[in-house]
Amino acid sequence: MNILITGGAGFIGSHLTRTLLANGETVAVLDNLSTGSFENIREFVGHKRFSFAIEELNNELVLDRLASQADAIVHLAAAVGVQLVVERPTETIETNVMGTHTVLKAARRYRCRTLLASTSEVYGKGVRTPFSEEDDLLLGASSRSRWSYAASKLLDEFLGLAAYREYGLPVTITRFFNTVGPGQTGRYGMVVPRFVRQALQGEPLTVYGDGEQSRCFCHVSDTVRALEALLNRPEITAGEIYNIGSGDEITINALAQTVIDRADSASSLRHIPYSEAYAPGFEDMRRRVPNTAKIERAIGWRPTHTLEQILDDVIGYERTQLLGAVRDAHA
């Protein structure tokens, strides 16, 4: 299969590229390197089944050319990370909504099988956990800019489902729940790489709010396995939405302590009010747990990594990165 991955130089995109190439697929990556990086795809350069274009999503000519050569499109390019969303809301909304619009137009032209990445953020402040795909969605007030991310991804979902219903385009939507693993950057707020770096450098771990909010973390290789299986089963997954995440729930306080233990670190916890960490009036989700029965029924997928395995992987990766930086500084 020829597969176009938008956002392929990002965290999930580069892991997906590696897996698809290893399994014999041909991969083209389109990325503007805004939150992704060339480092993430450097290892694939020169591979005979890999190509990349550093371009904006809204360059319709480039997207058209790439779509014309693709059997399938995995649309991962998006403005992500709570910090980025709060700091640059206009960019978030425009990238997410217009980008998806452009991708779907090209996909329709060439009848590409399409996977659209959405997010567990769309469940918002819903209190009935675990979250199922058919649940009502409860977003906060539009005066709180965090919710613009969920609203923009929700519009993406509607656009994707509309393309399926009106034009028969085989679109599948995936809602990711806190995907983590080696290679994720902490620059845009993601908690695991931030805590691991802080622990390895002996700095206090910055826990926002009271730290009793909880999340479920899913290893990126489990996420990638789900994406590959969904790609291969359009006949049963087109027009559907799937949660992709782990059911292993942990509070952020407990996560911080586990990171400290696994990294053998002497760091402590420092609690920081949300208003200081993000912006005054910031709203967080208290709990976020996926119900993954639907994807398990459809393609037999379930996550396989424990939180401890995930953290050991990230700690190993970050240790190597830090050692590399020290070596460079002395070179």
C-beta atoms surrounding 327 within 10 Å: 9
Contact (Cβ atoms closer than 8 angstroms) between residue 193 and residue 314: yes
Among 255, 251, 273, CA closest to 263: 255
Q: Which is nearer to ligand UDP, 25 or 121 (CB)?
A: 121
Using CA atoms, how far residue 65 sits from 70, 103, 150, 151, in Å, is: 9, 12, 30, 30
274 catalytic residue (yes or no): no
CB 112, min distance to ligand UDP, A: 29
CB of 259 to ligand UDP, least distance (A): 11
> Shortest CA distance to 57 belongs to which of 17, 15, 19, 8?
8
Q: How far is the CB of 244 from ligand UDP (least distance, A)?
A: 14
Alpha carbon distance 120, 5 (integer Å)? 21
Helix (H) or strand (E) holding 114: strand 113-119
Minimum gap (Å) between residue 137 Cβ and ligand UDP: 15
CA distance 145 to 278: 11
Q: Give the shortest CB-150-to-ligand UDP separation in angstroms.
A: 10
Strand partners, 274: none
Residues near 156 by Cβ (< 8 Å), separated by ≥ 6? 96, 97, 100, 116, 118
Q: Which two tokens stand for residue 206?
A: 């910055």
Kindly tell me which of 63 and 150 has the beta carbon lying closer to ligand UDP. Answer: 150
Nearer to ligand UDP, 19 or 34 (CB): 34
Catalytic residue among 123, 149, 242, 278: 149
- Nearest Cα neighbor of 173 from 244, 116, 111 is 116
CA distance readout (Å), 281 to 127, 147, 271: 20, 12, 17
C-beta closer to ligand UDP: residue 178 or 185:
178
Give the Å distances, CA to CA, from 269 to 38, 159, 169, 185, 263.
33, 42, 49, 21, 14
In terms of CB distance, is 280 or 300 closer to ligand UDP? 280
Q: Which residues of this chain interact with ligand UDP, rule CB under 6 A?
A: 82, 178, 189-191, 194, 206-208, 213, 215, 252, 284
Min. distance of Cβ 213 from ligand UDP in angstroms?
A: 4
- Contact (Cβ atoms closer than 8 angstroms) between residue 149 and residue 92: yes
Nearer to ligand UDP (CB atom), residue 102 or residue 265: 265
Catalytic residues: 149
